[in-house]
Amino acid sequence: MLLGLTRAATNGVPDFTPRRRVVVAATQGVSARAIPTVDSVSFYLLDTVTISRMAADGGDFVYLTIYPPRIAGDTAMVSVGSKWALRPRNEPMVLLSGGGCTWVYRRTGGSWVFGKSIGCTIS
């Protein structure tokens, strides 16, 4: 999770460009241990209620979601997605946004190393 979140925060994923402040959804299985330390980035792990409240108070913004990695031996597939937190609106709205990427990492010499991108999608 750390590697995927670092990659998403510094390289971006669909609908999420790299930035200095990154909100991460505290979904099931995601705790403070999943948050990396990156010199140029501040991460904020927030529950979805707080994320919704922030959008209502401050306007629309995009945040990241982390999915549980799939590990088989020395290979891990890591997926990170982007979602929009929207302020409440009175008018109907159609929104096509968000997306995500899946990456493969390989354990080499005791460390996980980026292998390749499986792909990125826009929803």
**Would you say 5 and 34 are in contact if contact means Cβ atoms under 8 Å apart?**
yes
20 pLDDT band, cuts 50/70/90, is very high
Q: Which residue has the higher pLDDT, 33 or 66?
A: 66
**Beta strands, E only, 7-86:** 21-25, 42-46, 61-66, 70-72, 75-85
**Would you say 16 and 8 are in contact if contact means Cβ atoms under 8 Å apart?**
yes
Q: Are strands 99-108 and 75-85 parallel, antiparallel or unpaired?
A: antiparallel
Residue 59 domain boundaries:
2-89+97-122
**Would you say 51 and 64 are in contact if contact means Cβ atoms under 8 Å apart?**
no
Q: What is the pLDDT of residues 4-16, one digit of tens each?
A: 899 999 999 998 9
| Number of domains composing the chain | 1
- What's the pLDDT at 97? 74
Does the pTM surpass 0.85? The reply is yes
Q: Report residue 43 as tokens.
A: 């991460």
Q: What is the pLDDT of residues 51-75, one digit of tens each?
A: 999 999 999 999 999 998 999 999 9
Q: What is the pLDDT of residues 70-115, one digit of tens each?
A: 999 999 999 999 999 988 888 876 666 789 999 999 999 989 999 9
Cβ neighbour number for residue 66 with a 10 Å cutoff: 24
